[in-house]
Amino acid sequence: MKTPKMIMLPENEMPRQWYNIVADMPVQPQPMLNPQTRKPLLPEEMEGLFAKGLVEQEFSQKRWHDIPDEVRELYKSYRPTPLVRAYALEKALDTPARIYYKNESVSPVGSHKLNSALPQAYYNHIQGITSITTETGAGQWGSAMSIACRHFGLKLEVFMVKNSYNAKPYRKVVMKTYGADVYASPCDLTQYGKKVLSEDPTNGGSLGIAISEAVERAVTQPNTRYTLGSVLSHVLMHQTIIGLEAEKQMEMAGEYPDKVIACFGGGSNFSGISFPFLRHKFTEGRNVKLIAAEPAACPKLTKGKLEYDFGDTAGMTPLIPMYTLGHDFQPEQIHAAGLRYHGGGRIVSQLKQDGYLDSCAIEQKEAFDAGILFARSEGIIPAPESTHAIAATIREALKARESGKSEVILFNLSGHGFLDLGAYEQYV
Amino acid sequence: MKTPKMIMLPENEMPRQWYNIVADMPVQPQPMLNPQTRKPLLPEEMEGLFAKGLVEQEFSQKRWHDIPDEVRELYKSYRPTPLVRAYALEKALDTPARIYYKNESVSPVGSHKLNSALPQAYYNHIQGITSITTETGAGQWGSAMSIACRHFGLKLEVFMVKNSYNAKPYRKVVMKTYGADVYASPCDLTQYGKKVLSEDPTNGGSLGIAISEAVERAVTQPNTRYTLGSVLSHVLMHQTIIGLEAEKQMEMAGEYPDKVIACFGGGSNFSGISFPFLRHKFTEGRNVKLIAAEPAACPKLTKGKLEYDFGDTAGMTPLIPMYTLGHDFQPEQIHAAGLRYHGGGRIVSQLKQDGYLDSCAIEQKEAFDAGILFARSEGIIPAPESTHAIAATIREALKARESGKSEVILFNLSGHGFLDLGAYEQYV
């Protein structure tokens, strides 16, 4: 029987737990360090910045974590998301590869980011926190936190990279429509922002700077915590719902992926779709190849070094063992603003070090060509970030055409591009 | 048992036929007239302008029409769409009413328009037509036709109302990304466009003018046909898949709507969600109240007259018996550009005349307030058009609170507002 184009998972089959890959990793990731003492960071040292429930997950060695009922209820407004067999893309590429994608663009904010925003808001809420700060690059994470905070009655301040703030004016409208306060970072609301601006009044910002501002703001305001949309282990764990669903849906299609591909900024959507498959490699030796698609302008896994580095530009965060281009690295402006982060997170970096994942660097032109081919075949305009995953998929599918090898490729469509059409304008 | 928030219809339950309400109407709508002879229009007189398969549907008295397999396959890329119980909106309004909405915003172009674009492209394709023209106001219909034509290998020219073309720059990027040619109407590609511009070079266009240009272009180019996104009976019939799915989903929830509400431009999403319920009134006397939510700036049903009028500004179409504000009516600029059409179509107008539907006129401010309340409670930013349906729903829900009456309201969320954030910008 022919595989249907759309493979829908019944709502009652939506996973009830997130998967924590740390429990199965052959080599444990190095700990974060307190930058003053250079000693391993203790959970209590993170609790001034993050909600306790999230800190507990960050340090957890437990394989499975229950998804709270309140979060599951909110997930149900858009999950399970569809798994789609990309018949039209396969045809356009004339490839023997069978291509599937998980469509996370169907979330009400248009990306996978809501998967972690909801639990992050929830754990802050149940702790009695009343106010949240965060940063956002492209605006996907900020949009997701805006509606998540609204659901749980939390106030939210978003520090948005100034260049993106100006280049993507509609993103702030989304956040404000949901009720958040949005600032173009660097700004004079923080000491660090003031310092950056005094040295360079025209500074267009970066994710690292925006994180510094959001962190400073969180620790200086009453009953406030900070939230991060990627990199950290608890964020990656929340996103595993993508891959856990995809695993069931692939099974419904009678398939298992040879390759799992996602774009890579800080690792959230990449880890989300791939870790549940990697677990079978760890536990049963089942083979799967993971490919992180990075922008050529910010290739931390492809060209960075594994070392201790700060998560932000100001050096206010713990030291994180990660593949990094340096916490003061300033990537050039690319449309995929969500991929302009200098480092890769503890877990992903350890896995890369140990040979469990590959990466590739994609030039912007190749990414947009892939995005337009995808739009014209599959009908969905992808986010600039997601076009990198599509481009990497196309590379693999064309290799399969060359070799005549029939293989199964699964990639994550992390979001749609309706809020990034200014980027497409230059290509059509 | 508590009704789930999301009510998903299994894919194999997706309707296999469209519903043609003409078969059940107690009073048949008046025929269209040939404007020269003033005699009832014959099918063959329409075939120079529309594909044969669509003309056949336009004149059909048959109750059910099979959805072609090719169209059903493409529907499956986003259908069945979710029915959602609006718990959060109910709570925000403190109403005893149970509110449901059909979420058509999940389509890859963000609105219900694809439901008719796909079959329209299909029937042109199987006839061997190679090129299509159409008009678009807000851009929803043009976006839908762009991807539909791409699926069936048809060339497409879209005449977009100039004011919208300028106010919504990203809409044309969507259409061009999908491969369509887009012109700001009026333009000098047509004789009629040239005439309008010679009389008023600053003319910002209207749906009526854009229709005139698209029609002229279709009849003067080889192997080309015209397509329309609303008003005509075959378009309304394609959209009944919305209500047919909703009917099954309401049944799954153990409910039947007391009121069915949709915004009203030319009638496509309104008819789509409501006609399948109205059929039970005709066939079994089951009560249901239909409410068409119009913009106060263009209240054809609320303040227009039922008379024969042209469907376009130039007077190139057949005469249509419809509630109209006059084919030269120029509504003021409102953000809900998709509702700025002067008339209401034969079927809807006859039903209005016979008392089977009500209408209300909503000011823009009330519509946006409703849209923002919806975004903050339900998490989805609605299209400016859809905010009118939400506003009318809120009116009814507040009446229910006054009277303490528990009733069931179903409305259609025709699209999301990610491509209309410029409009929201002024309100946040």
Q: Is residue B1 scored above 90 in pLDDT?
A: no
Q: Is residue B261 scored above 90 in pLDDT?
A: yes
Q: How does residue B336 score in pLDDT terms, banded at 50, 70 and 90?
A: confident
Among residues B390, B392, B396, B218, the alpha carbon closest in space to that of B312 is found at: B218
Q: How far is A79 from chain B (nearest CA, A)?
A: 9
The model's pLDDT over A61-112, given as tens digits with 9 standing for 90+, comes to 999 999 999 999 999 999 999 999 999 999 999 999 999 999 999 999 999 9
Q: CB of B318 within 8 A of CB of B41?
A: yes
ipTM: 0.90
Tell me the average pLDDT across A255-277.
97
Phi, psi at residue A185, to the nearest 5°? Answer: -100, 135
Among residues B70, B248, B33, the alpha carbon closest in space to that of B153 is found at: B70
The predicted pLDDT at position A1 comes to: 66
pLDDT: is B428 or A398 the higher one?
A398
Q: How far is A391 from chain B (nearest CA, A)?
A: 17
Q: Considering only alpha carbons, which residue of chain A is nearest residue B372?
A: A177
Give the β-pairing of A98-103 and A131-136: unpaired
The predicted pLDDT at position A3 comes to: 84
In whole angstroms, give the CA distance from residue A263 to residue A359.
Answer: 9
The model's pLDDT over B305-321, given as tens digits with 9 standing for 90+, comes to 999 999 998 888 999 99
Query: Which ranges in A341-383 belong to alpha helices (H)?
Result: 346-353, 364-378
Asked if B6 reaches chain A (Cβ–Cβ under 8 Å), the answer is yes
Instruction: Kindly determine whether residue B178 and residue A376, on different chains, have CB atoms separated by under 8 Å.
Output: yes
In whole angstroms, give the CA distance from residue A320 to residue A266.
Answer: 12
In whole angstroms, give the CA distance from residue A160 to residue A211.
Answer: 9
The model's pLDDT over B229-245, given as tens digits with 9 standing for 90+, comes to 999 999 999 999 999 99
A261: which 2 tokens?
């591909």
Residue-range domains of chain A with CATH: 6-16+66-111+234-427 (3.40.50.1100)
The model's pLDDT over B86-137, given as tens digits with 9 standing for 90+, comes to 999 999 999 999 999 999 999 999 999 999 999 999 999 999 999 999 999 8
Tell me the average pLDDT across B136-155.
96
How much is the pTM?
Answer: 0.94
Could you give the C-alpha distances from A151 to A9, A70, A148, B4, B371, in angstroms and in order? 25, 10, 5, 18, 16
The DSSP symbol for A109 reads T
The model's pLDDT over A234-261, given as tens digits with 9 standing for 90+, comes to 999 999 999 999 999 999 999 999 999 9
In whole angstroms, give the CA distance from residue A331 to residue A296.
Answer: 10
Q: How does residue A336 score in pLDDT terms, banded at 50, 70 and 90?
A: confident
3-class DSSP assignment, residue B77: coil
Q: How does residue B299 score in pLDDT terms, banded at 50, 70 and 90?
A: very high
In whole angstroms, give the CA distance from residue A286 to residue A283.
Answer: 8
Q: Considering only alpha carbons, which residue of chain A is nearest residue B368?
A: A177
Q: How does residue B34 score in pLDDT terms, banded at 50, 70 and 90?
A: very high
Query: Which ranges in B186-232 belong to alpha helices (H)?
Result: 191-199, 207-220
> Residue A360's beta-bridge partner residues?
A293
At A250, the amino acid letter reads: M
Which DSSP string corresponds to B281-302? HHHH----EEEEEEETTS-HHH
The DSSP symbol for A360 reads E
Among residues A319, A318, A320, A316, the alpha carbon closest in space to that of A344 is found at: A320
3-state helix, strand, coil in chain A (%, to 5): 45, 20, 35
Strands (E), A170-255: 181-185, 224-226
In whole angstroms, give the CA distance from residue B336 to residue A145.
Answer: 28
Asked if A13 reaches chain B (Cβ–Cβ under 8 Å), the answer is no
The model's pLDDT over A125-183, given as tens digits with 9 standing for 90+, comes to 999 999 999 999 889 999 999 999 999 999 999 999 999 899 888 899 999 999 999 99
CB-nearest to B177 from A170, A179, A381 is A381
